[in-house]
A and B are shown apart, each in its own frame.
Chain A
Amino acid sequence: MAASIIEVSGLGKRFGGFVALDNINMTVAAGERLGLIGPNGSGKSTLVNCLSGMLHHDSGNILFEGRPIDGMPAYRRTRLGLARSFQLPKPFRSLNIVDNLRIPLLYAVNARHGAQISAAAINERCRALLADVGLADKALYLPRDLTQVEMRKLELARAVASAPRLLFADEAMAGLSPSEVEEILVVLFRLNEAGITIVLIEHIMRAVMSFSTRLVVLVAGQKVADGAPQEAIRNPEVERAYLGE
């Protein structure tokens, strides 16, 4: 197995008396395509929020490329190479599409290299990113002029603009039509081939099953299955959570 890119051990998070995540242990190998599934409210988004630094976990620890990142603010995790997209797209509404991508380039990529990338190189990179997701001709549009699927692509492009090595795609396809789901999957496969480890949080089983090489299942804040996709979904606990007794 390849070296792990992120290692989570004993991760716990409570909201008041509610245990959102209970002793989660998981490892993601570099280059992997991991599917993270679970019923609504099972803690998938909380897990992503804890790993990306939007929330801070109460117990356990996280190693990113062998380095502890507990308590590290989100922007520094992004600079290290851990990016995420949001379940509900959160574009910078007053900025056009190019400027939306320029922000991670200026703030994450520049900070990482310690040197300023030239304005020309940034423009070039923005153009390439937009071409990758098929938004090349919308560069100067405002986010409100985009369709739902384009908005998802922008969300992914912005996450990828920070040049991550690990990407959490949080329900990047919710609410899309089957052909649009296919478009997003193509983008995700291409990113993975380019060397980005991807954790896909998704409800659309067909997409998860075709994309993932491994599946982690959360139920009520606990990890109940972890393994090859076909085996994971036949796990009795997973069946019980999804189909009932």
Chain B
Amino acid sequence: MGTGKFWALSFGVSLALLVLTRWLITNEYYFFAAYQVLQFIVLATAWNILGGYTGYTNFGTGAFFAVGAYSAVVLHKLSSAPVPVMMLVGGVMSGIIGFGMGYLTLRLRGVFFAIATLALAIVAQTLIVNWDYVGGSRGIYVIRPQYAPISGSYIQYLYSLMLALTWISVATARTIERSTLGLGFNAIRDDEQAAEAAGVPTLRLKLISTTLSGALMGMAGAPLPYYVTYLDPASSFNLSYAVNSVAMPLIGGMTSWVGPVIGAVLLGTIQQLATVTISSALNLLIVGVLLIVFVVIAPNGIVGLVRGWKRARYR
């Protein structure tokens, strides 16, 4: 399928999903839960652009996500900007941080890069904790506007926006995957020296990858203040964002756009179910156990597993 066709088709699917859910579902909770799952699809897809396609493991998802959220808080305090604008600004801020991170860590590879991203998350959190304007370590209450700009409740509005962002992220990821850019990313992942020798401008491509990945994470974080109405550093920088955005592509499969989507839907749904039926403290345990299971039985994720079966059948 061509890239343009995929954009159109995925737009159609998203729109149908939006209309159907808002027509059929009346219980607010389901929108609340679906928002979470969609948010994880965006985070996992964004992570996979850098982690899966380009081969750089980022443990700083929480930082990019929270920078998006806190950009929205600042905008909320300064003006009455609509949420889509907040998402754009959050995306730009996190994109800039992604660019900076890429530039500063361009000599680091593998585990050293991963450690640097972890350090970035801690530095960013420390800055926010000490920034009183956005609530510091106390956190900040964010009062939602009373009415959503479109029909339905505010949560439904945020859900619609997150669905739109999901569509954009997934379609972007697939476009990259099929493009010259994506082939260049893969070359860097496989062997950076060989890529450079083949004419791939590795530094430039790595910066594109870190910027794009960071920007999408920031966009996913921007509606968070209105979603939770109370934002504090401990929850917005929570390690679970980093762990989930690594685990979801790993479980789904990192080589294709569909992997992070499958992983996010699977893990996100299980975690929502566990939160409601058992306890929210169980979430990270579930992620951990599933991660170990998959690393052992399907190191290439669900996508890898399916491809393996297909290949075996045609041979």
Residues of chain A whose beta carbon lies under 8 Å from any beta carbon of chain B:
52-54, 73-76, 78-79, 83-84, 86, 90-95, 99, 102-104, 106-109, 111, 158-159, 161-162
B109 to chain A, nearest CB (A): 15
Q: Kindly list the 9 A-B residue pairs having the minimum CB-CB distance in the complex, ordered from nearest.
A: A108-B199, A90-B194, A107-B199, A92-B190, A104-B198, A78-B199, A74-B196, A90-B191, A107-B200
B residues 180-198 touching A (CB-CB < 8 Å): 180, 183-184, 186-187, 189-191, 193-198
**B230 to nearest A CB, angstroms?**
44
Interface size on B, residues (CB 8 A): 20
Q: Are A92 and B180 in contact (CB under 8 A)?
A: no
B172 to chain A, nearest CB (A): 20
Once bound together, how far apart are the Cα atoms of A52 and B199, in whole Å? Answer: 11
27 contacts across the A-B interface (CB closer than 8 A): A52-B197, A53-B196, A54-B193, A74-B193, A75-B202, A78-B197, A79-B199, A86-B193, A90-B193, A90-B194, A91-B191, A91-B194, A92-B187, A92-B190, A92-B191, A92-B194, A93-B190, A95-B183, A103-B183, A103-B184, A104-B199, A106-B180, A106-B183, A107-B180, A107-B184, A107-B200, A108-B199
Q: Among B191, B193, B194, B200, which residue has the most Cβ atoms of chain A within 10 A?
A: B194
Say if the beta carbon of B211 comes within 8 Å of chain A: no
Please give me the residue from chain A that is nearest to B180 by CB atom: A106
Which residues of chain B have C-beta atoms less than 8 A from A73's C-beta? Answer: 196, 201, 203
CB distance from A81 to the nearest CB of B (A): 10
Q: Does B255 contact A (CB under 8 A)?
A: yes
> Mask for B69-108, Cβ within 8 A of A = 1, else 0?
0000000000000000000000000000000000000000
Q: In the complex, how many angstroms separate the beta carbon of B103 from the nearest chain A beta carbon? A: 15
Nearest to B184 among chain A residues (CB) is A107
Assembled-state Cα–Cα distance A84/B196 (Å): 11
Q: Which DSSP category, helix, strand, loop or mixed, fits chain B's interface?
A: helix
Give chain B's interface residues, CB within 8 Å of chain A: 180, 183-184, 186-187, 189-191, 193-203, 255
SS of A interface (majority): helix
Closest to B192 in A: A90
Distance, CA A90 to CA B184, complexed state (A): 15
Question: Do B190 and A95 touch (CB < 8 A)?
Answer: yes
Closest to B201 in A: A75
Contact A92 B186 (CB under 8 A): yes
Contacts of B200 in A (CB 8 A): 75, 103, 107
* Neighbour of B199 across the interface among A92, A94, A95, A111, CB < 8 A: A111
Closest B residue to A79 by CB, please name it: B199
Of the candidates B189, B191, B196, B255, the one whose C-beta lies within 8 Å of that of A75 is: B196
Q: Which of A79, A84, A103, A159 contacts B195 (CB 8 A)?
A: A103
Chain B nearest CB, measured from A232 CB (Å): 28
The residue in B180, B190, B198 that gathers the most chain A C-beta atoms within 10 A of its C-beta is B198
Tell me how far the C-beta of B5 lies from the nearest C-beta in chain A, rounded to whole angstroms. Answer: 17
| Shortest Cβ gap from A125 to chain B (Å) | 14
The residues of A that contact B195 with a CB separation of less than 8 Å are: 92, 103
Residues of chain B with a CB closer than 8 A to A54's CB: 193, 196-197
Instruction: Considering the complex, give the chain A residue whose CB is closest to the CB of B179.
Output: A106
Do residues A158 and B198 form an inter-chain contact, with CB atoms below 8 A?
A: yes
Cβ of B197: which chain A residues have Cβ within 8 Å of it? 52, 54, 74-75, 78, 83-84, 86, 159
Output the nearest chain A residue to B254 by Cβ-Cβ distance.
A94
Candidates A52, A53, A103, A159; contact of B187 at CB < 8 Å: A103
Q: Which of B184, B196, B199, B202 has the most CB of A within 10 A?
A: B199
Inside 8 A of B180's CB, which chain A residues have their CB?
Answer: 106-107
Contacts of B201 in A (CB 8 A): 73, 75-76, 107
A92: chain B residues within 8 A (beta carbon): 186-187, 190-191, 194-195
Contact of B183 among A52, A102, A161 (CB under 8 A): A102
What's the minimum C-beta distance from A38 to chain B, rounded to whole angstroms? 22
Q: Are B199 and A86 in contact (CB under 8 A)?
A: no
Contacts of A109 in B (CB 8 A): 199
Given A103-B199, A107-B198, 15 more pairs with CB closer than 8 A = A52-B197, A53-B196, A54-B193, A73-B196, A73-B201, A75-B199, A90-B193, A90-B194, A91-B190, A93-B190, A103-B198, A104-B199, A107-B201, A158-B194, A161-B198
For residue A60, give the distance in angstroms from its CB to the closest CB of chain B.
22
- Known A-B contacts A73-B201, A107-B180; A94 and B196 likewise in contact (beta carbons under 8 Å): no
**Which residues of the partner chain B approach A95 to less than 8 Å between Cβ atoms?**
183, 186-187, 190
